[in-house]
Amino acid sequence: MAKRRSRKVRLLMDNALYVGLSRQVVLRREMDIIANNIANLDTTGFKVESILQKENPRAPAVTEGGPRPVKFVLADGVARDFRQGVLTTTGAPLDMAIEGEGFFQIQTPQGPRFTRDGRFTTDPSGRLVTQAGQPVLDEGGGEITIDPEKGTVSIGADGTMTQGSEQVGKVGMFDFANAGALSKAGDNLFRNVSNLQPQPAESARLRQGMLEGSNVKPVLEITRMVEVSRAYEQTAKMMESEADLSRRSVERLGRIQ
């Protein structure tokens, strides 16, 4: 009888340890995301991220007198805040920022990608490209070529590019009905992971000679970091207490004749 009771107490304690461990795993992931946000504080067009969590009900290790079911904590993806960052004037004629909702479309070897990073330049052939040398696409999905001999480039709010009286292209600005269609693809780019097709960003306005900063708020991120760190420590202390209580309970019950 004592052995049975000892096993029941140990298993009930194990449930608490498993739940605590699941919480720690999520907190570690959340800390990684916060650290990444802070690291990208000065990244042009970066969008702040946060972790999504969910409960995962599972059958407990023992059901006699225990909770039914035990609810573990799991990471359920990453949420991205696409709200606009602060626009800063640079004066560079090929720096561009989108005011409002929308993305630039970039052609990469892996297919079309989307970004808010408007630090553009030209390659030796005169194509409008990103800092990585990938072509910036126009409203029809084609490349844009600029002839430096034709003079300074002027860009209108609708993306129309002119040199003197000649129109040389129109920078495409695209949007999605659901921002969840976009997933990070590295290099400050996003890829479309849905069946949704990008549509012209009708309400967006292009600002020449400006760049959009990240929308990371450092004070909030540091506050979140402190909160996550404290939560992790509290969970570790709870698990340590549960393990110690389990050990002492088993020792006492084992002495009962």
Cis amide linkage into residue 69, ω under 30° from 0: yes
Prediction pTM value = 0.80
| Residues 214-220, mean pLDDT to the nearest whole number | 95
Backbone angles phi, psi at 33, to 5 degrees: -65, -40
Q: Kindly report which listed range (9-13, 38-42, 49-53, 185-189) carries the lowest average pLDDT score.
A: 9-13
The pLDDT of residue 127: 96
In three-state secondary structure terms, 164 is coil
pLDDT tens digits, one per residue of 172-181: 999 998 888 8
What pLDDT, on a 0 to 100 scale, did the predictor assign at position 151? 86
Taking a C-beta distance cutoff of 8 angstroms, is the pair 155, 96 a contact? yes
Distance between CA atoms of residues 114 and 136, nearest Å = 10
Q: Which residue has the higher pLDDT, 119 or 1?
A: 119
Position with higher pLDDT, 193 vs 75: 193
pLDDT category of residue 255 using cuts at 50, 70 and 90: low
Residue 155 has a pLDDT of 96
- pLDDT tens-place string over residues 50-106: 988 766 665 555 545 555 566 767 776 788 999 999 999 999 999 999 999 999 999
For 212-228, what is the mean pLDDT? Answer: 95
Higher-confidence residue of 133 and 239: namely 133
Domain range list for the chain? 2-83+216-254, 87-212
Percentage of the chain beyond pLDDT 90 is 60
DSSP-based three-state secondary structure for 106? strand
What would the pLDDT profile of 28-41 be if each residue is shown by its tens digit?
999 999 999 999 99
State the number of CA atoms in the 13 A half-sphere of 240 facing the CB.
Answer: 6
Kindly state the average pLDDT of the residues 182-201: 92
Amino acid at the residue 90? T
More reliable by pLDDT, 143 or 23: 143
